[in-house]
Amino acid sequence: MKKILVAGVAAVIMGLSGIAASVPGNAASEPSHIAGQIMVKFRDNGAAAGVLRQHGLKEGAGIGSTGAQLIKVPAGKELNLVEALSRNPAVEYAEPDELVTAATDDPYFPRQYALQNDGQSFTNTLSTMTVAAGDKDADVDAVEAWSVTTGGGTRVAIVDSGVAIDHEDISQKVVARTNFSDTKIDNPEDYDKYGHGTHVAGIVAAAYKNNMGVAGVCPGCTILDAKVLNDNGSGSSSAIAKGIDWAVANGAKVINMSLGQRVSSRTLETAVNNAWNRGVVLVAAAGNAGTPAQIYPGAYPNVIAVAATDNRDDKASFSSYGAKWVDIAAPGVNVYSTFPFHPFVLGTQNGRSMGYDIASGTSMASPIVAATAALVWSSQAGPTNASVRAKVQSTAERKAGTETFWANGRVNACKAVTVPLVAGSCP
């Protein structure tokens, strides 16, 4: 598996096992934090300047709603300064800024087995790879869910590498954008030169019945594009925290994070908890390490952690797992979706086509669950984030032999939105 490093607390793009963006396998061989900066929260902000001055440092910018500051430090001194500051009683906590890495009539719809699996075999766009036939109905019953709702404009935030503005099948769904990555946006194609965020966004909300490309699981949803990963698929814990805060402020009902890091961050967890307390459903990829090792933000209690399955409803070989922390599963192998119509890094590295192609990873599974949550938002009367999460998880389809991999089953959009569930209404 080719491993693509993304940044943050190792914000690792949780996608593309084949196009693999996964948590780096050897934590000792590469730094897990961003050089030249740390995150510090003071018990008394009035003491901050004096405490930092003792170490030759200055106050930094606030990190969203977390109360922490992003402090610039000499490269290579991050861990020493974290340790020193943590001993000061005026400091609530100090921590590294961890590296994060990246989880109809539409002509390509027959390749979207995740939405409707008829046991079909299909190829990638260039027909250089054939996907073997799967098991009929090993899908999320999205088409059946659309008879109840297609999303009703529900806002889903994609906290990722950005969404390409040159892709008509998804760009029209973007209602607001921001950039917290270290990529400078000079040209339209700069919004996503990596390709990951565009693929994830298409899984959520690509338009349907438009004689174009693919359909999203929630084709009536709208997208909030929070770019936190750069052109190499790297980002930071602080950038993700800012992206979460921005999404909440801009009306997100669901936040998808197809990324992750090995080490927990109090700053990131605070942003997650603040969003949950504001009534938002948060969804994240479980990771592509193929082990039960926990990945964040997926492992936080207020996040739905998503593992990946294949077109036979079996656990994907690369998927991280563990019923103690992984909540649910969704298709994540050879998922067909949108890619930028300009050259992008994942396409160059992995031979994927501009416009549309397949990708694998828990990055692809997570947005299916996020989109299902958005469908539930639009189908319930007086929904809360707790009721939406409970509905998504309780209606998942269980398969014998997967009980130790995830706490619930493989997500089923039709069952999640059909209340009460009438016999025969969902396959």
Positions marked catalytic: 160, 196, 363
**In contact, 161 and 363? CB cutoff 8 Å:** no
Measured CA to CA, the distance from residue 241 to residue 341 in angstroms comes to 29
Residue 149 Cα distances to 119, 179, 385, angstroms? 25, 31, 18
Assess contact for 255 and 247: CB atoms under 8 A. Answer: yes
Between the alpha carbon of residue 36 and those of residues 45, 51, 204, 239, 404, the distances in Å are: 22, 18, 35, 15, 40
Contact (CB, 8 A) for 192 and 164: yes
Q: In angstroms, rounded to a whole number, what is the distance separating the alpha carbons of residues 328 and 338?
A: 24
The residues, any chain, with a CB within 8 Å of residue 54's CB and separated by 6 or more, are none
What does each C-alpha distance from 251 to 279, 298, 371 come to in angstroms? 10, 22, 16
Asked if 346 contacts 16 with a C-beta cutoff of 8 angstroms, the reply is: yes
Going from the C-alpha of 340 to that of each of 201, 256, 333, 357, the distances in angstroms are: 11, 19, 20, 10
